A and B are shown apart, each in its own frame.
Chain A
């Protein structure tokens, strides 16, 4: 790299991003270490633990592959077709990813369950009932959660191909196959490994989904094994070992994905609206069918949950609304924190510090239980756990959202640096001016999307608050569990809808805000 290519006004070795990354490493590995030290060392794993590791690995690989593969036609159809309500549909399709797990599982069961819609249609036609319980239920749930993430990431990739390239393709009279070869495949080569990796890592630490739909011990994940070690065996050493295994798997997956990804190198464009290169004929029908199927798969379960719970929302007690307000404030602070940190990290990754990317992905595989326990042990001398409950939850939620925010910001930050870095450098644009005039406007779309995801994820997360909780200040997800634990399933259903609506509203507001800025 030439000396003139100074990264975004940031020093080469110890940028703010590098400090943040080092802090993250210390947090994840430090809490793991604390748990291990408290336990007096790591404990060897038993055969059931290894089975859990194996199941976790293959289901995550399968879930990621399916989600990424299915997302390609959906993203392509959405990228090249224009229709009324397209934007709304794209936003709505993102909904499953930000759903609290318990709500999503309820929705899936109402569609695919024993007494669900699908069986209601199949059985009268003489087809045997299909069961959603088992490893395929876990995969189904993971695809439901992660397909939207993949679609959005790949769609971003499509939209990032400069309009000039499509115009060129048009003037050269490219057939769909030529477009695929010259424009789409190079883009996919760049975007897909990241999308696959993100889903793979999400699925590595899946806990509640695997348990509710898994059907039993065949579908045991590492996160459950950690829970068992913590809850019933009081074996912190085993919990720490399992946490370490998760980190190891994450690092392996990162190396794998880094080896596959290749930059597409389209160069800079002028931000013209891309013409919708929509091949006519049967492809038109196929695209329509793909969009319709994806919309049905992703939206019917959500609609079903909404219909079940909405009528009772008005009857929810005031304490639920208070908890909702508390959760919203927490989610907003989390999102702002996550955005600030991930922007610093993304800029330093774009400047060539690859290890900061790995550090930023680590929170995805940090077991919330190990992280929470470690923090609990570390902080107990400083303040009482209940005083720390809400601040720690906010911080952890921000950290947990980082990997997603990073995956969204890194490609954009790279492109920004590649396309405008030299110009900005030659103008001597650094520091706040560079942030205000170049970085924020150019990155406002991905920043809005990342902020929306972070806020929504923080909203729905039960996370470490169960370890620190104080009954006087419950969050909304905690309220949902309290209602379920008190037999109040109907109120719980209403609470789910409220939680879902707020998560979605937060996501929409950020995402929308990002686009408004981009238009300005």
Chain B
């Protein structure tokens, strides 16, 4: 028993690395072995002389819970639709980066939250199972009800919240009717993205709410070109992932160095095939092959954080009313 306890404790002991410990809060998928985390850790440790440690979990709730007592020096993986509350906490410091040269489909001016990758929400389908995908959001609404989609719950998944804001942006006053038409086509609503995507790859659903960059994974990692994002002329809602440094970090220089590292070519060139998302600052010609062949929407929709925050509750209420019947 004692040896097993010791063995257990040993697995929790931090790896021996030179220099001070530098703590970054990140979502679990980001810091996992299959995410960009390990590469970023190695890349930054090579230049910072520190021991970078990712602490994973629900980043924003945790930061808000800990307040100014947080151990985090930097947080990564915040989403643009929830930054209003993050900003209001007053916990974050300016990133100090020049954001004029970003390669994003929208103009970015925020001096606190620094984007590191982005993608748009899209419905992904498999062309061997769905031969005539809808060519617009309206066509999707008008499609026969036996076309089945899986979406994510806006109360537990950031992608579900993104869909609410997407529908609100495209259909405005008519968003409730849009949901009414979409509802019979929704096979089920899953708690998170991974359950929904699993249902899709298992052949349960014809389309799944995911990202315009999702097919890149199948092309690059599985050599499978059958998965596509349906591109809608009404536009696609932008999802931006961001990082920010903590005002009360006890390692402000390291935090600043990490923010510098985020926009470096080294960091940006590994993000696409590690997080399967578009890097925030990388010329199109340097994108990996799998991304270069992806179709791009003509129009990208983005709501400033205050508008997203204002719309969130009424949009959720509307969705609940339609889907709870």
Binding site for B on A (CB under 8 A): 38, 48, 51, 102, 105-106, 109-110, 113-115, 131, 133, 137, 207-208, 211-218, 220, 224, 227-228, 230-232, 234, 236, 317, 319, 326, 329-330, 332-333, 336, 373, 376-377, 380, 384-387, 389-391, 394, 466-474, 478-479, 481-489, 492
Contact = CB atoms under 8 A, between A and B. Distances in A.
A227 B155 contact: yes
A172 B155 CA distance: 63
Contacts of A485: 28-29, 32, 34-35, 193-194
A317 B4 CA distance: 24
B320 A217 contact: yes
Nearest to A385: B55
17 contacts: A109-B204, A137-B188, A211-B191, A217-B323, A224-B155, A228-B156, A231-B58, A231-B61, A326-B8, A329-B8, A373-B65, A387-B12, A391-B12, A469-B56, A470-B12, A484-B194, A489-B198
Looking at chain A's contact residues, is the secondary structure mostly helix, strand, loop, or mixed? Answer: helix
Interface string B1-40: 1001101100110110000000000101101111101000
A486 B35 contact: yes
Given A329-B4, A481-B194, A482-B33, A466 B28 contact: yes
Interface in B193-211: 193-195, 197-199, 201-205
B47 interface: no
A391 B66 CA distance: 21
A482 B197 contact: no
Contact of A114 (B66, B153, B187, B201): B187
Contacts of B214: 487
B85 interface: yes
Given A472-B53, A485-B32, 18 more contacts: A114-B187, A131-B187, A217-B153, A220-B155, A220-B324, A224-B155, A227-B191, A234-B60, A326-B11, A466-B28, A470-B56, A471-B26, A471-B55, A472-B14, A472-B15, A482-B28, A486-B34, A488-B34
Given A330-B8, A376-B65, A211 B54 contact: no
Interface of B: 1, 4-5, 7-8, 11-12, 14-15, 26, 28-29, 31-35, 37, 53-58, 60-62, 64-66, 69, 71, 82, 85, 148, 153-156, 161, 186-191, 193-195, 197-199, 201-205, 214, 217-218, 221, 276, 312, 319-320, 323-325
Nearest to A131: B187
Residue with the greatest number of chain A CB neighbours at <10 A, chosen from B1, B62, B190:
B190
A87 B29 CA distance: 42
A447 to B, nearest CB: 17
Contacts of B191: 207-208, 211-212, 224, 227
Given A217-B324, A231-B61, A469-B28, A333 B4 contact: yes
Contact of B221 (A227, A336, A483, A487): A487
Contacts of B320: 48, 217
A216 B188 contact: yes
A317 B32 CA distance: 13
Contacts of A236: 65
A471 B155 contact: no
Given A231-B61, A487-B276, A469 B55 contact: yes
A390 B12 contact: yes
Contact of B31 (A213, A217, A218, A471): A471
B190 A211 contact: yes
Given A385-B55, A467-B62, A133 B324 contact: no
A232 B157 CA distance: 9
Nearest to B324: A217
B57 A466 contact: yes
Nearest to A328: B4
Given A387-B12, A469-B55, A474 B32 contact: yes
B291 to A, nearest CB: 14
A215 B189 contact: yes
A489 B221 CA distance: 12
Given A212-B191, A215-B188, A487-B197, A234 B64 contact: yes
A485 B56 CA distance: 14
Given A211-B153, A231-B156, A470-B55, A486 B12 contact: no
Contacts of B57: 466-469
A492 B156 contact: no
B189 A109 contact: no
A38 B221 CA distance: 46
A484 B197 CA distance: 8
A394 B203 CA distance: 37
A211 B57 CA distance: 20
Contacts of A391: 8, 12
The 3 A-B pairs of least Cβ separation, nearest first, read A486-B34, A485-B29, A482-B32
Contact of B37 (A114, A115, A228, A471): A471
Contacts of B7: 329
Residue with the greatest number of chain A CB neighbours at <10 A, chosen from B4, B193, B205:
B4
A218 B154 CA distance: 14
Contacts of A482: 28-29, 32-35
Contacts of A133: 187-188
Nearest to B150: A133
B8 A333 contact: yes
A193 B153 CA distance: 35
B238 to A, nearest CB: 19
A319 B187 contact: no
B324 A109 contact: no
A106 B56 CA distance: 26
A486 B216 CA distance: 12
A319 B312 CA distance: 40
Nearest to A227: B156
A463 to B, nearest CB: 12
B28 A489 contact: no
Contact of A216 (B61, B189, B201, B276): B189
Contacts of A212: 188, 190-191, 195
Contacts of A478: 28
Contact of B56 (A215, A319, A471): A471
Residue with the greatest number of chain B CB neighbours at <10 A, chosen from A373, A376, A470:
A470
A224 B320 CA distance: 14
Given A224-B156, A326-B11, A385-B55, A106 B5 contact: no
Contacts of A207: 191
A218 B188 CA distance: 11
A92 B26 CA distance: 40
A231 B60 CA distance: 8
A220 B161 CA distance: 17
A188 B54 CA distance: 53
Contacts of B197: 484, 487, 489
Contact of A473 (B11, B33, B71): B11
A119 to B, nearest CB: 11
